[in-house]
Amino acid sequence: MQNFILSCRKILFVIQKELLCTVKDPKSRVIMIVPVLLQTLLFGFAASYDLDEVPYALLDLSHSRYANELIAQFDGSGVFKRVRVLSNFEQIADCLDSGQAAVAICIGANFAALLTSGNAASVQVITDGRNTMTSGVIVNYVAGVIAAYNTRLRGGQLGVAIRTINWYNPNLITRWMFLPGLLPMMSLVQVMILAGLSVAREREQGTFDQLLVTPLTPVEILVGKAVPPVLIGLAQVTAILMISVLYFSVRMVGSLLTLYLVLLVFLISSAGIGLSISAVADRMQQVIVYCFVILLPVILLSGMATPIQNMPPALQVLTCINPLRFAIEAVRRIYLEGAGVGTIFHDFIPMLAVATLTLPAAAWLFRHKLL
């Protein structure tokens, strides 16, 4: 019994020592506090499928009293906000692709005639199926407005029916949204961690000094450290792409060349972030911690799962410096829509900006640490 009590006291001593060391270390305090607060706030504000406001485009070919009453039902719902009035079907594509509207509501020319004769009329609802979650929520909101209109019109009996068209993802299959987004997301994790570990591993293994006595400059060393993670990331992208197409039958519509161009630029910016982390971290363990502290908000604020439009305005502004947001947007448009370089050119700018900032910063930090 005495041995057991003595053993417990020894264990308590070790526990007390570890807690004191952890609390006294400034880096450990940051790791304990910052990720918890950051992740809780981000999940609370950003992870939401609720739509407080749905911008919609209206195509009214009926111009009748019945159509005006239905439009008033949408405008007075408190959810739908009319942002554009269309004159023909050709304008719908530009309106949805540009993100100006989340849904297009089309009222046919025979809308009033069908209702007057006692028949059911249909309203065409066109959504952007690239984000299945948002499209599903919007269709449910439309159904609620139509149900309220039918109650006023015929006491709840079917008067107006919904005919839904989901562009780029007709059946709103969730994997059609997630699998294209996995291409940049999974490669980001791989490239950032590998690039971050490259220098820290050399330091821990004691081979870093050997590298420094070679004729290579710090910039040349960093370039050599950046290329292998990018190549591995591209190989990983190829594997995910093959599984998506061959096994899950999520057919890619766009150009492979355009897809790989986007991913190459994105992975270079990811390698820059990883190398910047590696330049300030002394150990591999620190690199892993720093990477995961950065990765969670980057992924959460990318629009991978939750729509960016649902986030508070401050977080929406913050996503503008997130390269993963623009990589996912570009890849989805290439994969499902068949967009070309000219259409997604604006998505390259943030990724190139991050690469332009992080790679020289990593070189400066690397050189500064050697002095």
pLDDT band at 211 (very low <50, low <70, confident <90, very high): low
Residue 293 placed within a domain: yes
Separation in Å, CA 25 to CA 13, 43, 234, 278, 279: 18, 28, 39, 20, 21
pLDDT band at 272 (very low <50, low <70, confident <90, very high): very high
Q: Taking the CA atoms of the chain, what radius of gyration do you get in angstroms? A: 27
Q: What is the CATH number of the domain that holds 146?
A: 3.40.1710.10
226-251: buried (b, 16+ CB within 10 Å) or exposed (e) per residue?
A: beebbebbeebbeebbeebeeeeebe
| Number of compact structural domains in the chain | 2
Token pair 């269309």 in the structure block, residue? 86
| Residue at which a domain ends, from 106, 141, 167 | 167
pLDDT digits (tens, 9 = 90+) for 158-190: 688 899 988 888 777 778 888 899 999 999 998
Q: Please give the pLDDT value at position 369.
A: 62
Average pLDDT over residues 73-78: 90
Residue 28 placed within a domain: no
Q: Is the dihedral of CA 162, 165, 171, 177 positive or negative?
A: negative
| Greater model confidence, 157 or 238 | 238
Tally of CA atoms within 13 A in the half-sphere of 353 that contains its CB: 12
CA 314, CA 45: separation in Å to the nearest integer?
Answer: 10
Structure tokens that stand for 98 in this block = 């540009």
Q: Please give the pLDDT value at position 33.
A: 74
Query: Does residue 263 share a domain with residue 326?
Result: yes
Separation in Å, CA 262 to CA 207, 257, 301, 345: 35, 9, 19, 10
Give me the chain's average pLDDT, please. 85
Nearest 5°: CA angle at 58, between 57 and 61? 150
CA 187, CA 235: separation in Å to the nearest integer?
Answer: 9
pTM: 0.79
pLDDT at 152 over 50: yes
Share of the chain above pLDDT 70, in %: 89
Residue 13 placed within a domain: no
* Cβ atoms 323, 299 nearer than 8 A: no
Query: Does residue 225 share a domain with residue 139?
Result: no
21-43: buried (b, 16+ CB within 10 Å) or exposed (e) per residue?
A: eeeeeeeeeebeeeeeeeeeebe
Query: Does residue 163 share a domain with residue 213?
Result: no
Query: Does residue 222 share a domain with residue 117?
Result: no
Residue 324 placed within a domain: yes
| Residue at which a domain ends, from 134, 167, 200 | 167
pLDDT digits (tens, 9 = 90+) for 18-35: 777 767 777 667 767 776
Query: Does residue 330 share a domain with residue 211?
Result: yes
Residue 33 placed within a domain: no
Query: Does residue 215 share a domain with residue 110?
Result: no
pLDDT digits (tens, 9 = 90+) for 291-339: 888 888 898 889 887 778 778 888 888 899 999 999 999 999 999 888 8
Residue 320 placed within a domain: yes
pLDDT band at 371 (very low <50, low <70, confident <90, very high): very low
Domain that includes residue 208, residue range: 174-370
Query: Does residue 294 share a domain with residue 195?
Result: yes
pLDDT at 67 over 70: yes
pLDDT digits (tens, 9 = 90+) for 126-146: 998 887 878 888 899 999 999
